[in-house]
Structure 1
């Protein structure tokens, strides 16, 4: 069991306002905070400068839309006469699909905290799913299964098999070690859409059975302080920090290492929102076994969104009803 940190926060006046928007909600339950996220998993668009230069594609900016992204991918993807793809424009893990959904102002459920029904059949949601699936069907982006077999997005980006990837800051250290010529930009959004970064990260917690809770709190609050653990982890290049003051400091922005446009991560973090995953106990089971499992058929090109999504929603609605949602 986890210890409720709320009393310690109140007693010590710990500054929870320094966390990115909605981030603490990922480690909270029923208005009680049970953990402090060490980082925030916001994604950026990584791009290989050499491959973009070769294809005559301008480097992406924070003004790019989905249309701009697709136009760039059409120039970057190299398909041989036999249909084999020599180089993909984009590689993105299928599990990140909800980024497109939330950017298009859509949602999986009518309430991500206490849902009553699936909303993936709504037009904005279907359009987002079709956009991602269309990139794969048109051979502009790698299929999720192919990406996994190729060793993941870091492997295909480093080998030049993909000119762009969408990923969080966890790839920075590896790409710098490999000496890649790359940079990052905010993820393109649809016209009239919104930025919708993931408000989640790995969290430090305290056991409810700890023998010395006061000492545990002292260490935990140091780990999550701007001059303590957060700064050390940031200087090591391991994380994009959960604390805004650390991300806005020279420790992150002027590290002296690529990417040059580190501001892209801040742009995304400033727009972190609830919606990329559920905030209720049965989310992992429902999200994994029904939603993600059903959408794999779309990412694989075995079904269209119009074929797969209504069946997914039927299963989700039955699951929610069986589990007694919405909770009173």
Structure 2
């Protein structure tokens, strides 16, 4: 069985992002030395500012579409813009980040014999005609649409991970992440939770696309990080993919109404046409994560929203 090499650090690509910064916190809390790599396209220095003086934390500004030369024991590959606003801004770079980034972390893992986790996405399922979505479902994805740079980039990354596992013996872990929310979300990322909270706190109309009957499942960030760590700690070969998310399903309108109630906002709902290729249903089948990792999310939506609202209330305060 492969043993953890305590003399070599853990690498987190995209470590200054929303998920990555929480993961860095957790890994440091577990006693690891952590190298955080980020090019700050969507990551923010404020997310990891509290770690800069930590003796076991190192920040490296780097783009994963370029090779990495490091000595590491574990790799969490989280580098990629993950909201439509950001990944559609430069779709060619999004594909390069997903595909070349995967290639470079896999080459690093092969050379150093590191265990490597790929932060994949529920977007590999596209607009699904199977509900909820199990890992065996191959998806229904538009390969030439506006979202394809992300959807297909992540699908290709999964292919690379499995081929490096089969051909080169690399110890890979593929986690398909469903909608996640919490403190440190980017206020302008266009994601539904951050959108609704920011609009509600500003007293602006809350924008709902379509009639708000499309569904999503929302996982609080602490629960997701629990899953990452449990997956990487699993001793035997377990390439996955494994769905990681919260199986409790809500309509977008229900989410908006809950945000208005929790913020005490006077915001009203406004309805706009659905964007292209927007999935109508999204809920993970997480039975495999329960069986293999002993994991299930614990934080209820109301509690998670309260914590996230408190973060945005502080973030949006005017600077004096």
- Could you tell me the TM-score, scaled by structure 1's length? 0.29
If asked which structure has higher relative contact order (CA below 8 Å, sep 6+), I would say 1
More strand by share: 2
More helix by share: 1
